[in-house]
Amino acid sequence: MIQRISFVAGLLALALAAAPAAAQQKLDFILNWVPGGDHSPYYFAKKMGWYDKEGIELNLEPGKGSSLAVQKVGAGANPIGLADMGTALVGKGKGANVVGVFNVYANSPQGLYWLKSSGIKGIKDFPGKKIGNPAADAARAMWPAIAKANGIDPKSVTWVNVAANAKIGALKSKSVDITTSFYNIHHIFQRELGDDMGFVAWRDIGLNPYGNSVIVNADFLAKNKALIGKFVKVTQKAFAACVKDPKPCVQALVDANGALKFDNELTNWGLVEVLMDDKFSREVALGWHDPKRMAADYELVKTYVGIEKPFDVSSIYTNAFLDKSVKMAK
């Protein structure tokens, strides 16, 4: 009899232990690209069980660019994702029903690279040169704004189509004079080009639109505010933890994606911290979208890329789910 009671009690304990898992809601989160150092906080929070504890079964799905993430989230194929905010602005103008809930890159990740041996010292030396990048690259669309900010004619350069993975090779072979790239792979350019690498960040030459933000399908958000609120707070907590101690975060990323190298992704994460750091992330809240900057970004994109159907910029972001006690370390 005692054995039977113990057996029943054991079954009851197992049932109770399994109960929270049954109540969890799955979130299919599409990344902006394949997993890398910049995605470490999501993998860390997942490994630590922080999402599970809030009733979230997080599924991290590799992406193929911000445009795809905006399309899928906007259409509701994925309820949540990660995408460049400029791309999200363009997408919303085309009908993508998205809302930014957490800003990751407070600074633009875009930069310009060249060889010092070419004689180029900075953007003022770009006229008459060839810039190589993919035909549909956002940097190409925004070039007139960069040129204007630096007092040079936008038409004074020649654009050459170069695949994303062929940029460094094109520089080395001198088939182009300049290329564009994201700052979070700056270390790869340094490794390949060494002391001959010339570089300037957009944010240092007068153009600093917001970069990656977590976006949510607006209809899904309206029906699941509590869920998204929990997701944002866990994610905010994870990013703050990774700034404080990045190694466990990067290890969680590498453990979940075996092909990645710890040292490379740790360096990547260090560059990401630079992109996260601004006045608002330090003084207001980590993940904050500043209304004035968002309004300026909207006008920038409208002028140089185009927005098919104008909209109120305040409809594409919210800071409502952020915990103001969580800030970027100073």
Condensed to tens digits (0 to 9), the pLDDT of residues 301-326 reads 999 889 999 999 999 999 999 999 99
DSSP type of residue 122 = S
Which pLDDT belongs to residue 214? 98
Q: Could you write out the three-class secondary structure of 258-325?
A: CCCCHHHHHHHHHHHHHHHCCHHHHHCCCCCCCHHHHHHHHHHHHHHCCCCCCCCHHHHECCCCCCCC
Per DSSP, the residues of 21-86 read HHT-EEEEEE-SSS--GGGHHHHHHHHTTHHHHTTEEEEEE--S-HHHHHHHHHHTSSSEEEEEHH
Whether the Cβ atoms of residue 320 and residue 105 lie closer than 8 Å to each other: no
Which pLDDT belongs to residue 65? 87
Q: How far is CA 234 from the centre of its chain?
A: 17
- Closest by CA to 311, choosing from 298, 297, 293, is 298
State yes or no: pLDDT of 67 exceeds 80. yes
Cα of first residue to Cα of last residue in the chain, in angstroms, is 63
Which pLDDT belongs to residue 7? 42
Reported confidence tier of residue 21, pLDDT bands at 50, 70, 90: very low
Instruction: Over range 104-112, report the average pLDDT.
Output: 96
Residue with tokens 């140089």: 304
Type of residue numbered 303: T
What residues pair up with 212 in beta bridges, in sequence order?
84
CA pair distance 315, 88, nearest whole angstrom: 12
**Residue burial 33-57, b: 16+ Cβ < 10 Å; e: rest:** bebbbbbbbbbbbbbbebbbebebe
Which pLDDT belongs to residue 44? 98
CA pair distance 9, 5, nearest whole angstrom: 6
What residues pair up with 27 in beta bridges, in sequence order?
58
User: Can you read off the two tokens belonging to residue 325?
Assistant: 């006690």
240 — phi, psi (to 5°)?
-65, -40
User: Can you read off the two tokens belonging to residue 311?
Assistant: 């909209």
State yes or no: pLDDT of 54 exceeds 90. yes
142 — phi, psi (to 5°)?
-90, -5
Which pLDDT belongs to residue 140? 87
Instruction: Write down the pTM of the prediction.
Output: 0.88
Instruction: Over range 49-66, report the average pLDDT.
Output: 96
Whether the Cβ atoms of residue 44 and residue 252 lie closer than 8 Å to each other: yes
State yes or no: pLDDT of 124 exceeds 70. yes
Give me the domains of the chain, ranges plus CATH numbers: 23-107+210-316 (3.40.190.10), 110-204 (3.40.190.10)
State yes or no: pLDDT of 17 exceeds 80. no
Type of residue numbered 155: K
Instruction: Over range 248-258, report the average pLDDT.
Output: 97
Reported confidence tier of residue 139, pLDDT bands at 50, 70, 90: confident
Condensed to tens digits (0 to 9), the pLDDT of residues 160-210 reads 999 989 999 999 999 999 999 999 899 999 999 999 999 999 999 999 999
State yes or no: pLDDT of 4 exceeds 70. no
- Where is average pLDDT lowest: 3-17, 235-249, 290-304? 3-17
Proportion of the chain above pLDDT 90, given as a percent: 86
Mean pLDDT of the chain: 92
